[in-house]
Structure 1
Amino acid sequence: MSVSDFVRQQLHQRLEQHRIVVWYDSDRAFADFIQSFQADSCVVVSTVESILNSRRQAEAVYRQMNEPDDLAKAGLNLLIYVPRKRGIIEDEKRQDPFEVFAWAGVAFGDKEAEQLESLARQAIPERTIEITRLFAQGSPTLSMLDRLQFHHRSPLLLEALGTDSPSEAIALVLCLDEKSQRIDSVKGCLKEFLPLLATEIGFKPLLKAKSWTEIRKQLGQYVLFNEFALDLPCELPQSFSALPRAEASHELVIFAVCDRMRDSSDLRSGYVQLAVQVENQLQLSNLTENLAQLGTRDTFPFAEKRYLHQVLEYVQQDNLADAQRILTQRRHSIWNNHLERGNIWMIVERCVTFLATSNAVEDLSKKSLQSMSLRQIISAYAPPDRWGWAELDRHQRLFEQGATAYAGDGGEIESLVEFCRRRYLEVALAIQDRFLNCVQKEGWFPEGVLRQTQVFDQYVAPLLEQNNNKVAFFLADSLRFEMGRDLAEALEQLGEVETLPVASVLPTTTPCGMAALMPNADGTLRLVESDGELIPVLGERKLEESRHRMRLLQEKYGDRFKDIEPEDILSKKVNALGKQLASVDLLVVRTKDPDRIAESIGNMKARKYLSDVVSEMVNTIRRLSTIGFTHFVISADHGHVLVDEIPLGDVIPKPKGEWLKTKRRSLLGQFISGESPNTIIFKTEQVGIQGDAQDLCVAKGFKVFQQVEGYFHEGISLQEAIVPLVILRSQGKITTQSKPNIFLRYKFNYFANKVINLRVCYEYLLPEPIQVRIEAYDGSTIKAKRVGEATDCDARDERTGEIILQPNQEISVPILLESDDISCSKIELRAIDPQTGVIWAKLELENRLLD
């Protein structure tokens, strides 16, 4: 590509994205170029001759773009060429008559990367040395630089490799055996190649190297070692003094070679093998142990562990800014593509983010916590805007999710994860103590906060009184407020979303919370003794189980009502689902109970489900939007506390009493004696409980009355008793998009491990990302069951679990097979449209797990 073509491409991209481009060219390097520049629907205004006339012309075009007298002019773009330097300070910008257009669109040419020398290097990186030389000697013109593209210095190299670009040729022969063999097969090519290597990177083979095979080994070591050395901010150890060194003038080409090898999917595998080999040959890990600092480039794998150690040291020093700086630098490291290493870095980044959040929450809460009322604490925990104390819970959930999913031994980061767990309890319990004190003084429900018993009557029933409304009411189990925030953010593209905090009924159990979400519950919900148990009752109607609650809604709304679970929605084709729910105006969607999941398949999977439930609800809501549901109301029975394990001493004895309901965090009945510093005894009327119980005994802090796993509820805490209400007014039926070009590939046609490192690429001309679900199924039929899904990686949206694909970029996506017993002969990996469930791409792999 010529420099002119490259600049033309850059302008087209900016015009397409911003519509208005102001091009500052103080050196007038592009004065001739601008006279012939053309683009579809683009008006070019040159300010060379008259600033005043140009300003008037630009204003006229701008008016046509926004208030066209001809519809054809509504799609106009505007390019303004200004042969002057852009102002830096505000006074200079105010005096520039074209700055306002740059503000409305984008400026070009005011950054170093957008000036002629840098643009030339980007256009033809293989000519970097010559470009640098030309600018050092004078001021080359654009036409002179364009001619570099057509100058072939090495015709035999061009014949052998298809390129005579030094950086491209070196990268190809080092990473691809078939390309390397062409050096020998084209007569005279090696003789032509060696002087080029000497000129461009300073490489000269040792005398003992007689064959191209031997020279290639030396070349690989030379290139990688010198990238490492040139990038080093300190002196190399004397151990390496005998190795050939490149001059500083060779740095650009050597860096370009290594970037090409690491950044290209066709060369990356060869680079990894070469880097590991050179690192071992030179014993770099051992011989660089005493280096005070490494460079920032990604040459060798040993640096990855060194940087990880540095991050952990910074965390120990409470230097989170420098820890985050390294995490940002290393986020796209080639060595993170290895699943286990990538997972470790992901967990560390989540831990660092959590610690920064814990510091912020602690700083804010310490200033005013002890003087805050109950309502003020809830407002600080769940404010109308995005950031509140609930963010502490969110980031704790995310690092715990990563730690739970991690399959390695965790030795490197175990202490960091444990430190974060202790830190969570330290900050959360300080707030919890004050919160409980306020409940003791003020009672429950908190004044000015929406009651759980008001949700249906205020936010669901009115919608059903209006014609043509199709309402989906989600009864989510164990949804913390922060999870509702994540859900709301993920739904913003579908319409107008609002999130409110809701004060749940006490105790925070599923039967009580779900009953509170029924019609006419406010003021009428009671707990009544029946056969030695306390059960929720509305009027005379027992609502102990889900079937009782659904029957109540069925009787009230008749054929307009139906209840369903998310998997029943997601497993059906859109057309069939639309027919099934065509006459339904109130659809109640019931999520799974994490308590029952823990009992049947274990606590680890229950904890995983708590993180996955948000993505499941997003997918369900999208599917329902597709078939015409207009309103969505999402709330929960209660929240939950999530810790790794119950600390020693936090399992406390129950006070003596006639307890009708005995739960992990609370007791309901009649207190007799034995109150301790670890419990609070409330009169039931003090905390909004009507019925046959006189007293509610609650464990303080996050203590429990019985040994349990690290997930629990039933007590009184912000995490358990403040749940979200998410209200979505959908924009209407979602239109399905045409099938995108998505490609899935794996290094083998079989899998022999429960983790499959899938490569995914999305091809598209425009710079618009898309989101997909990537899942594994135990066959290719419609009845195939899901056996795995994409797990944590950079491209995964942590709220929805979907993979974000950027156009024309191949990424690595780890697929975790969930089942311990996959007996099918093959699995099918699928890229799925999250809105409709349509399969966009698939890849079949043979099962060799048992081999």
Structure 2
Amino acid sequence: MNIQEFIQEQVFAPRLEKHQVLVVYDPEQRYRDTCLVMADDRRKVVDASDSSIISRAQAIQALGELGQQSIEQLLVYVPAARPLEDEEKQKDPFALYGALYGEFEAAFPMGDGDSYLSICLKAKPDHATEVRRIFEQDANPSFAVIDAIGGGLSWPNLIATLKVESTRDILFSLLVPGDSQLVSLNAGDSWVAETRELLKASIGLTLKTRGKTWSAIGEELWRFVLFSEFVFDLPEPLPAALADVPRATEAAKPLVEDICERLRSDRRTQATYIERAEAVEAELELSSLCDGIVDLGERDTFPFEERTFLHQAMDALQRDDTDKVRHILSRHVQSVWTGKGESQAQWDLLRSALALVETCQDNDRLLVEHTRSMESLIDFYLAQFREVDRLHREFEQAVSDYDWQDTQGLMHPLQQRVRKQYGQLIEKLQLLFTKHLTNSGWPVSGRLANTEVFDKLVGPKLAQSGNKVAYLMVDALRYELGVALEQQLAEDGKVELTSALAQLPSITLVGMASLLPDASTGLKLNRIDGKLVPAINDQEVKTVAQRMDVIRKRYGQRFQEGRLEDFVRNRFKVEDGTELLVLRSVEIDGHFENHPDTAPNEIINALKRIRVAVHKLKDAGFSDVVIPTDHGFFMNTHAQAGDTCSKNSGDWLNIHERCLLGDGAADGNHYELATDKAGIRSDMPKLAGPLTMASYRSGMLYYHGGASLQECVVPVITVKLEASKQAAIEQASVVLSYKNGAKRITTRLPVVEIAVETQDMFSTHSDFEILLEAQDKNGNVVGEAKPGGAVNPATGTITLRPDDKAQITVKMQMEFEGKFKIKALNPSTMATYCQLDLETDYTV
């Protein structure tokens, strides 16, 4: 294709197809013949070279024909410069055409990309150096000169050896030869002399190595290409110590950048690129030599640049420059360095920090509009503010995922800044809540209370024998988690999420009792031997056995109960005749109580088990599932040393270091109200607690028991079970791959690629949700997909459409070493889509 054909087919024709009209401005009259020969039956060309009056009339007539569809396209050639200012546009009789069809997008040239030099570089990408040399000698070379470029170059031995023809493809193959290409390169050295000539002609590399093997030439070529791209992108002067390192001339910049971008974006070459870039960075000591450079440009050729961009984003977030953070994140979301699990964890933490900061700012502005009453405050929390808590939980999850490798405390300042902003907003919300609590009491009239859940949502379903209902009593399922769970359960049936108000005080002992039959009328909280004892209709219900006995007395042989985890693991069988199955889950609360630092990750496992349980219940013939919870919780990670509250003086029971039951003096740091006003039947007259989110003991990273929206507004989920909606496994194929077939992982954060390949036309519009787990030979989970990015932080699953791909970091357990399988599973049935056999090969 000569240069004129390139301009016609690659520049003008696409714009005409898009806009129907194109006005070509050409003060040098370079493109006149190119435009005129484009006229045909469907396209009219108007030439304004001779007479502007005649050409204007011709253009108006052609515009009418275009409107009547007599012609399909109109090209107007104007031998003048394109008007840029409004005054110039008003004087130009043809400016109207570009404005009518795309607001001057229908004009040529448009920016530097339409310069003659840029067009020639695009037309002759393999000869960029020669093109630039010619333009340095003549700013307006003829088409014939451009067409002659490259006419005498040929590389017969290279073409025969590598089975590619263009200079770009030859260079690419010399950097990352395929298996057959590598065999051919190692079979002889007839290609070496041509390689030396090609490298010098195309990118200006004069090989220093005297070696005639691919490994020697490839090493020098990699260093030259990578360092050249780094220098091209560097806005600041190169350090003196690097001034003599060989690099390409400016003329080779488009070819070098194109090859580097191809190496980074091609999944088949990314691992090699990472390995080579790390080696070159270490060899040239770039990290230390460039330590004083502030601006490294836009590209992250080397890993130290990616770390520098990360530091810039962290600094911007500390300065509240969220626009800059967002810009850096968008630039690096597809960075090759996110293919390293360690880097991905850092960027995920930054991304979650930005999301939390911006959501805090948004909700801080909106909160003032919802302060007039408790009802308004609760509605605001349910509709919007819960997202603050979700993003805070996901932020803490990202902290947990990264903290173990942050031995230098790199991201600790960022964590403190984000936690401080979250804490300030939460305290503002909490003061409003406790103010309304004191004034209006609890629970709020007209809203579902936890004490009513069984009698309103479960009891009526069991009024007629034959209905099978499952009642999942989940400990510490906060409202925002209920939202996530509702979305997960949608494929199993008709799901409805509503809110309920937890019984005060918001502890498991009381909350689980409030979910029993007759709790709305019969629940009492009394003080016996210095301890809080709940009872329903005077029957104590302080233990699991006592609570289950209340249900058993009412439903007899229709009732069965057990731990949800045991049900999921098939450790007990649902008995014939069971119509009310109570399944108990305590994992969220238990893990937070004992391991608060890593508890956010346990939430994923807890929701996963609930989802599997619901699917199994459908298979077991149950028609309805009701999922309530006893209380919510608060993650107190923003608290500093000394952020505590002193207890009121008096005769009080201290409940979970968050509230008091009994009697005593009031002070300005506490809310206080009569127990009956707080919805509590008790022999203790008063309920009191801190006005803020403070507790009575320092160091509590997680708690419940007090009065806050996070602790007391909880979800209730009902599911009407029906047939599964997820596309069948045979309709699509799930494929796992790791580093082009590598069988050993050298990091505890390996990155695998997962893809869904279409098997039939009916599955092309289906979403496939996939759970990724690493399992040892006994089926024990030894690694899981790290939340963040494509991995849903609440569910731990990846949702892909057919023909989608995603890179997923698998977080391996620190103590595990040996052979394992990475399995892609159906999250509802735990059926295996596919698996990948790997083993560990850690260096330390």
TM over 0.5: yes
Q: Aligned partners of 2:677, 2:628: CA distance in 1, in Å?
A: 25
Q: 1:373-522, aligned counterparts within 5 Å? A: 373-383=373-383, 388-406=384-402, 407-408=404-405, 409=407, 411-464=409-462, 470-494=468-492, 496-522=494-520
- Which of residues 662, 667, 687 is equivalent to 1:676? 667
Aligned-partner residue type, residue 404 of structure 1 = S
- Classify 1:502/1:439 alpha carbon distance in 2 versus 1 (closer, same or farther; 3 Å): same
Partner of 1:65: none
Partner of 2:278: 276
Partner of 1:616: 609
Aligned-partner residue type, residue 174 of structure 2 = V
Q: 1:83-482, aligned counterparts within 5 Å? A: 154-176=155-177, 179=181, 182-183=184-185, 185-186=187-188, 188-206=190-208, 214-233=216-235, 236=238, 240-365=242-367, 367-368=368-369, 371-383=371-383, 388-406=384-402, 407-408=404-405, 409=407, 411-464=409-462, 470-482=468-480
Aligned-partner residue type, residue 358 of structure 1 = C
Aligned-partner residue type, residue 737 of structure 1 = I
Question: How far apart are residue 198 of structure 1 and its match?
Answer: 4.0
Give the match's secondary structure for 1:687: coil
Partner of 1:737: 729
Aligned-partner residue type, residue 166 of structure 1 = T
Partner of 2:583: 589
Q: Aligned partners of 1:426, 1:793: CA distance in 2, in Å?
A: 25
- Classify 1:764/1:587 alpha carbon distance in 2 versus 1 (closer, same or farther; 3 Å): same
- Which of residues 829, 835, 838 is equivalent to 2:831? 838
For structure 1, which segment, 390-399 or 453-462, has the greater mean C-alpha deviation from structure 2 after superposition? 453-462
Partner of 1:815: 810
Question: How far apart are residue 417 of structure 1 and its match?
Answer: 0.6
Question: How far apart are residue 139 of structure 1 and its match?
Answer: 11
For structure 1, which segment, 828-837 or 555-564, has the greater mean C-alpha deviation from structure 2 after superposition? 555-564
Contact 1:757–1:814 under 8 Å retained in 2: yes
Partner of 2:551: 553
Question: How far apart are residue 610 of structure 1 and its match?
Answer: 3.5
Question: How far apart are residue 583 of structure 1 and its match?
Answer: 5.8
Contact 1:375–1:448 under 8 Å retained in 2: no
- Classify 1:794/1:457 alpha carbon distance in 2 versus 1 (closer, same or farther; 3 Å): same
Partner of 1:687: 678
Q: Aligned partners of 1:528, 1:211: CA distance in 2, in Å?
A: 86
Question: How far apart are residue 454 of structure 1 and its match?
Answer: 2.4
Are residue 634 (structure 1) and residue 627 (structure 2) matched? yes
TM-score (norm 1): 0.76
Q: Aligned partners of 1:333, 1:667: CA distance in 2, in Å?
A: 53
Q: Aligned partners of 2:425, 2:825: CA distance in 1, in Å?
A: 41
Question: How far apart are residue 138 of structure 1 and its match?
Answer: 11
Contact 1:494–1:731 under 8 Å retained in 2: yes
Give the match's secondary structure for 1:296: coil
Question: How far apart are residue 343 of structure 1 and its match?
Answer: 1.0
Are residue 538 (structure 1) and residue 530 (structure 2) matched? no
Where do 5+ consecutive residues of structure 1 fail to align? 1-21, 35-47, 56-80, 86-90, 97-110, 146-150
Aligned-partner residue type, residue 372 of structure 1 = R
Question: How far apart are residue 217 of structure 1 and its match?
Answer: 3.3
Aligned-partner residue type, residue 523 of structure 2 = L
Question: How far apart are residue 310 of structure 1 and its match?
Answer: 0.5
Q: Aligned partners of 2:160, 2:518: CA distance in 1, in Å?
A: 83
Aligned-partner residue type, residue 169 of structure 1 = I
- Classify 1:593/1:500 alpha carbon distance in 2 versus 1 (closer, same or farther; 3 Å): same
Contact 1:381–1:389 under 8 Å retained in 2: yes
Q: Aligned partners of 1:338, 1:205: CA distance in 2, in Å?
A: 32
Question: How far apart are residue 497 of structure 1 and its match?
Answer: 4.1
Question: How far apart are residue 802 of structure 1 and its match?
Answer: 1.1
Are residue 802 (structure 1) and residue 797 (structure 2) matched? yes
Question: How far apart are residue 508 of structure 1 and its match?
Answer: 0.4
Contact 2:752–2:808 under 8 Å retained in 1: yes
Give the match's secondary structure for 1:671: strand
Q: Aligned partners of 2:516, 2:421: CA distance in 1, in Å?
A: 38
- Percent of aligned positions that are identical: 26
CA displacement, residues 168-192 of structure 1 (integer Å, 9 cap, x when unaligned): 3323322459645744635532333
- Classify 1:248/1:584 alpha carbon distance in 2 versus 1 (closer, same or farther; 3 Å): farther
For structure 1, which segment, 248-257 or 333-342, has the greater mean C-alpha deviation from structure 2 after superposition? 248-257
Q: 1:7-46, aligned counterparts within 5 Å? A: none
Contact 1:262–1:268 under 8 Å retained in 2: yes
Question: How far apart are residue 322 of structure 1 and its match?
Answer: 0.9
Aligned-partner residue type, residue 442 of structure 1 = S
Partner of 2:50: none
CA displacement, residues 422-479 of structure 1 (integer Å, 9 cap, x when unaligned): 2222110111112101111111112343222222333334444579865443322112
Q: Aligned partners of 1:849, 1:647: CA distance in 2, in Å?
A: 38
Q: Aligned partners of 2:215, 2:541: CA distance in 1, in Å?
A: 79
Are residue 665 (structure 1) and residue 658 (structure 2) matched? yes
Q: Aligned partners of 1:425, 1:524: CA distance in 2, in Å?
A: 38
Give the match's secondary structure for 1:740: strand
For structure 1, which segment, 616-625 or 793-802, has the greater mean C-alpha deviation from structure 2 after superposition? 616-625
Q: Aligned partners of 1:327, 1:628: CA distance in 2, in Å?
A: 48
Q: Aligned partners of 2:211, 2:173: CA distance in 1, in Å?
A: 20
Question: How far apart are residue 545 of structure 1 and its match?
Answer: 2.6
- Classify 1:717/1:185 alpha carbon distance in 2 versus 1 (closer, same or farther; 3 Å): same
Q: Aligned partners of 1:580, 1:128: CA distance in 2, in Å?
A: 75
Partner of 1:63: none
For structure 1, which segment, 180-189 or 294-303, has the greater mean C-alpha deviation from structure 2 after superposition? 180-189
- Classify 1:313/1:639 alpha carbon distance in 2 versus 1 (closer, same or farther; 3 Å): same
Q: Aligned partners of 1:295, 1:619: CA distance in 2, in Å?
A: 48
User: How many matched pairs?
Assistant: 763
For structure 1, which segment, 809-818 or 259-268, has the greater mean C-alpha deviation from structure 2 after superposition? 809-818
CA displacement, residues 705-739 of structure 1 (integer Å, 9 cap, x when unaligned): 34553111000011111112234445534464226
- Classify 1:287/1:459 alpha carbon distance in 2 versus 1 (closer, same or farther; 3 Å): same
Partner of 1:523: 521
Contact 2:189–2:213 under 8 Å retained in 1: no
For structure 1, which segment, 540-549 or 429-438, has the greater mean C-alpha deviation from structure 2 after superposition? 540-549
Aligned-partner residue type, residue 654 of structure 1 = K
Aligned-partner residue type, residue 500 of structure 1 = T
Q: Aligned partners of 2:824, 2:250: CA distance in 1, in Å?
A: 46
Question: How far apart are residue 506 of structure 1 and its match?
Answer: 0.5
TM-score (norm 2): 0.77
Aligned-partner residue type, residue 168 of structure 1 = D
Question: How far apart are residue 125 of structure 1 and its match?
Answer: 11
- Classify 1:281/1:819 alpha carbon distance in 2 versus 1 (closer, same or farther; 3 Å): closer
Question: How far apart are residue 690 of structure 1 and its match?
Answer: 0.9
For structure 1, which segment, 483-492 or 467-476, has the greater mean C-alpha deviation from structure 2 after superposition? 467-476
- Classify 1:693/1:303 alpha carbon distance in 2 versus 1 (closer, same or farther; 3 Å): same
Question: How far apart are residue 800 of structure 1 and its match?
Answer: 0.8
Aligned-partner residue type, residue 381 of structure 2 = Y
Q: Aligned partners of 1:184, 1:325: CA distance in 2, in Å?
A: 45
Q: Aligned partners of 1:170, 1:768: CA distance in 2, in Å?
A: 41
- Classify 1:30/1:798 alpha carbon distance in 2 versus 1 (closer, same or farther; 3 Å): farther
CA displacement, residues 124-144 of structure 1 (integer Å, 9 cap, x when unaligned): 9987979x99xx99999xxxx
Aligned-partner residue type, residue 421 of structure 2 = R
Q: Aligned partners of 1:235, 1:850: CA distance in 2, in Å?
A: 38
Question: How far apart are residue 487 of structure 1 and its match?
Answer: 2.1
- Classify 1:567/1:169 alpha carbon distance in 2 versus 1 (closer, same or farther; 3 Å): farther
Q: Aligned partners of 1:556, 1:245: CA distance in 2, in Å?
A: 84
- Classify 1:466/1:605 alpha carbon distance in 2 versus 1 (closer, same or farther; 3 Å): farther
Contact 1:665–1:698 under 8 Å retained in 2: yes
Q: Aligned partners of 2:565, 2:574: CA distance in 1, in Å?
A: 15
Q: Aligned partners of 1:321, 1:260: CA distance in 2, in Å?
A: 29
Aligned-partner residue type, residue 713 of structure 1 = H
Aligned-partner residue type, residue 551 of structure 2 = L
Q: Aligned partners of 1:796, 1:850: CA distance in 2, in Å?
A: 28
